[in-house]
Structure formats: C-alpha cells, structure tokens
Amino acid sequence: MDLFDSFKLSKEEITKDVYLLREFALHDSEHLLLADMRAVIGQAPLRNMMTPMGFAMSAAMTNCGELGWVADKAGYGYDTLNTNTGKPWPHMPASFLQLALTAAAECGYTDFVPDACLINQYKISASMGLHQDKNERDFTQPIVSVSLGIPAVFQFGGLKRSDKPLKISLNHGDVVVWGGDARLKFHGIMPLKPNSHAALGAYRYNLTFRKAG
Ligand code: MD6
Ligand code: FE
C-alpha cells in the first residue's frame, strides 16, 4: 500500500473557526520536525520568562523566525532579537514552515505567511492561564498550533475571560488552526498530568505559528 493511501485527513471544527487536525504533524516528516525543534532550542535555549507582573511563567519558551514573542517588565510583544543572547532568532526551519502552511491551507487559509514561531515547553504540572493572543498586527491571519509530546487539556472560551471554556485533549501530532471569529478568544492549558512520551520524555511542546509583523 502506498504511504499516501493510508493518510485520511481528520478535520473537526470544534467551535466556530477553530479546526482540529488530529495527528496532522505525524504525516509531515515527524522526525525532521523533532530534529529541527531540538536544533532551534540548541541555538536559542528555552527559558522561563517573567510576566510584567513579576511572575515567572511555568512554560519555558523560545522562538524561531523573523520575530519572537517575549515578555518582560515592559510588557508583551515581538522582538527581532533574542533578549537573552542579543542575536536574531534562529531561522524558521523548512519543516516547520511546510507544516504550518499545509495545515493552514487545509482550513482555507491559503495566504498564511508566518513570520514567528513560539515554542513552549511544559513540564509536569506546568500550565498556561487563560489569555488572548493579541500582540500580532493582522488578526485576519490565523494561528497554527502544533502539539508534541505528552497530552494536555486545552481550554478555549469566549471573548471575555469569564466565559466558560470548552476543554479538549491535545495529543502528540495534533494541530489546531485558529482564526476568524475565534482569533481573539481566551484560551489556555490546564496543568499537565504526569506522563511520558517515547521521543520527548515527560514534556509537552507547543509550536504556535503566527504572522506577527
Ligand atoms: C499551548 N497555545 O498550546 C498554548 N494560542 O501550549 C496557545 O496559547 C495558543 O494553541 C493561540 C492559538 C493556538 C494556541
Ligand atoms: Fe495563545
């Protein structure tokens, strides 16, 4: 049997303008993706940034692409330089870009031009509080989010922080494409439960691709 015959795209619209592509990243050269992620982290090490309120975030972060998302005393935003090293962020690997573009196109976003990829690493019990992604310039561009490693429960609510969120489990290789009316909705990650993944150990990684600039 041809490799391609066995690939049936799984696409579910979990709520308006939020698409879940189960295991999509596994069909798109998974090993290269993991090797490229390790190389980016090697050049721009993960670190726990401080929020403007003075709290360390429990997820460790780094970036690749022209722009990287950073948090510090001055606030949140994108920077062309890695504030830790003073150097530009590593280039976005071709495997990353290919995955982001094909996932976006599957969901109707054929003109996605990501210039930033935020890499989040969660250890057991790390979490991310409900937030909006609103530091980007152009909210007509979607966000493509790739989950790797151990599972997590993703929450997504409404346009107000107090709107009750839906919960959905995200597993290794799952991709979420998020845009349109959902673009500014609150979302977060519940504290990770103890678990282990064959290739990535007791961690979850999330790649979020954006057009930031
Ligand atoms: C995470 N993701 O999955 C955190 N933001 O670790 C996000 O904050 C996120 O997955 C916007 C769109 C999709 C996402
Ligand atoms: Fe987010």
- Mapped onto helix, strand or coil, the DSSP state of residue 88 is strand
pLDDT digits (tens, 9 = 90+) for 108-123: 999 999 999 999 999 9
178 lines ligand 1 (CB under 6 A): yes
Number of domains in the chain: 1
pLDDT digits (tens, 9 = 90+) for 3-33: 555 678 899 999 999 999 999 999 868 999 9
> Within a domain: residue 1?
no
> Within a domain: residue 35?
yes
User: What is the Å distance from ligand 2's center to 50 Cα?
Assistant: 16
Please determine, for residue 147, whether its predicted confidence score (pLDDT) is greater than 70: yes
> Within a domain: residue 2?
no
Mean pLDDT, the chain, integer: 94
> Within a domain: residue 7?
no
pLDDT digits (tens, 9 = 90+) for 46-74: 999 988 888 899 999 999 999 999 987 77
What is each CA distance from 114 to 104, 148, 196, 209, 210, in whole angstroms? 10, 19, 30, 6, 5
CATH number for position 121: 2.60.120.590
> Within a domain: residue 95?
yes
User: What is the Å distance from ligand 1's center to 133 Cα?
Assistant: 8
- Mapped onto helix, strand or coil, the DSSP state of residue 174 is coil
Closest CA to 118 of 199, 209, 27, 16: 209
Whose alpha carbon is nearest atom 14 of ligand 1? 145
Helix orientation angle between 94-106 and 30-43, rounded to the nearest 10 degrees:
120
> Within a domain: residue 149?
yes
Please determine, for residue 1, whether its predicted confidence score (pLDDT) is greater than 70: no
206 lines ligand 1 (CB under 6 A): yes
Q: Residue 64 is part of which domain span?
A: 12-210
pLDDT value of position 47:
96
Residue 46's CB: how many other CB atoms inside 10 A?
16
> Within a domain: residue 34?
yes
In this structure, which ligand is nearest to the CA of 207?
1
Q: What is the pTM of this model?
A: 0.95
> Within a domain: residue 111?
yes
Whose alpha carbon is nearest atom 13 of ligand 1? 145
Task: With beta carbons less than 8 A apart as the criterion, state whether 27 and 7 touch.
Answer: yes
Q: Which class for 86: exposed (0-12), middle (13-18), buried (19 or more C-beta within 10 A)?
A: exposed
